[in-house]
């Protein structure tokens, strides 16, 4: 695919889509970003960077064909849907199906879909995302699937759901403190997406489990503490705490306790993308400054 052919990016006001849109723009590729609101600060910053803004809504399938018209490729991040008891798999699949059907209708040639890392017995990471992947392969000729593990930037996230992020010097999660957990920088998801768009014949039909590092939670907070100068410690939540937060979090903790693990081949990925970031790389590049600001806000 030549670099002058238009790529539509969904989820561009989020982490993966935003990183991918900016990576493609930096390479000189024409980018159109599909957003629900073209007036937000994030959308406007993408427009300033050179992206074309177009309004579209996964829950309004009639808005999608026009948003995709004329595009050669699509970076697809169908938004997760939640109901009263947690993730709504049917609605998430409906959103993904609507996007894929619209892409097929207007002749999009190549789709890079980013989902969730697989674990044994759960290809595609979740029911909805696996169904979206299957539908994508049925409708689009050239498909690349990216399945990233937990983001390094999750350390910057809100602690409102009871896990992830850092609050009052504590990082809480479901993982055992002394077992390695794979992580990835969203900028590297963007790098793999760019590679797939640049070399569609090489990456068509491939599903890539993506990670860039594997540290224990204790090692990770030690690295964050050293980089930021602020003491951060790790706490693993109990099963009872996970169940109190939500059934979905409790289920993930149970599967992890039973030995279910992400399994990206980091060394092979580094051959494909030699610049693959470790946590130390991400901290040096941008994470330390962002974390210092976040730690001040949550002290």
How much is the pTM?
0.94
Q: If you average pLDDT over residues 155-171, what whole number do you get?
A: 87
pLDDT tier at 2 (50, 70, 90 boundaries)? low
Q: What is the pLDDT of residues 170-180, one digit of tens each?
A: 999 999 999 99
Provide the residue ranges of all domains of the chain, joining segments of one domain with +. 7-149+186-210+262-275
| Range with the poorest average pLDDT among 156-160, 170-174, 183-187, 276-280 | 156-160
Q: Provide the pLDDT for residue 299.
A: 63
Reply yes or no on whether the pLDDT at 9 is more than 60. yes
Q: Any idea which fold 7-149+186-210+262-275 has?
A: Rossmann fold (3.40.50)
Which pLDDT band holds residue 295 (cuts at 50, 70, 90)? confident
Query: Tokens at residue 111, please?
Result: 């789709």
Helix 127-139 and helix 89-106, axial crossing angle in degrees, nearest 10: 20
Under 8 Å between Cβ of 144 and 113 = yes
pLDDT band with cut points at 50, 70 and 90 for residue 112 = very high
Q: Is the pLDDT of residue 121 over 90?
A: no
pLDDT reading at 74 higher than 90? yes
Taking only the tens place, the pLDDT of each residue in 76-105 is 997 777 776 667 889 999 999 999 999 999
Bridge partners of 236, per DSSP, are 173
In the β-sheet with 110-114, what is the strand arrangement from edge to edge? 52-55, 31-35, 7-10, 73-76, 110-114, 142-148, 207-210
């Amino acid at each position: 695919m030549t670099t002058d052919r238009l790529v539509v990016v969904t989820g561009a006001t989020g982490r993966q889509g935003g990183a991918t849109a900016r990576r493609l723009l930096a390479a000189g590729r024409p980018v159109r970003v599909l957003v629900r609101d073209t007036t937000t600060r994030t959308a406007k910053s993408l427009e300033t960077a050179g992206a074309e803004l177009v309004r579209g809504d996964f829950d309004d399938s009639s808005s999608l064909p026009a948003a995709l018209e004329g595009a050669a490729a699509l970076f697809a991040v169908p938004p997760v849907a939640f109901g009263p008891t947690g993730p709504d798999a049917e609605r998430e699949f409906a959103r993904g199906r609507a996007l894929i059907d619209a892409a097929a209708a207007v002749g999009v040639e190549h789709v890079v879909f980013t989902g969730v890392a697989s674990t044994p017995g759960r290809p595609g990471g979740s029911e909805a995302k696996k169904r979206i992947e299957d539908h994508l392969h049925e409708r689009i000729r050239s498909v690349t699937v990216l399945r990233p593990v937990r983001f390094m930037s999750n350390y910057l996230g809100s602690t409102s759901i009871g896990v992830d992020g850092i609050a009052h010097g504590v990082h809480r999660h479901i993982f055992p403190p002394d077992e390695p957990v794979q992580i990835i920088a969203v900028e590297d998801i963007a790098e793999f997406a760019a590679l797939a768009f640049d070399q569609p014949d090489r990456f068509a039909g491939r599903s890539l489990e993506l990670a860039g590092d594997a540290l224990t939670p204790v090692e990770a907070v030690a690295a964050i503490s050293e980089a930021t100068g602020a003491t951060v410690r790790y706490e693993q939540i109990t099963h009872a705490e996970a169940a109190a937060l939500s059934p979905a979090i409790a289920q993930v903790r149970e599967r992890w306790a039973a030995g279910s693990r992400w399994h990206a081949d980091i060394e092979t990925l580094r051959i494909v993308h030699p610049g693959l970031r470790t946590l130390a790389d991400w901290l040096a590049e941008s994470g330390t400054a962002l974390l210092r600001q976040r730690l001040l806000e949550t002290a």
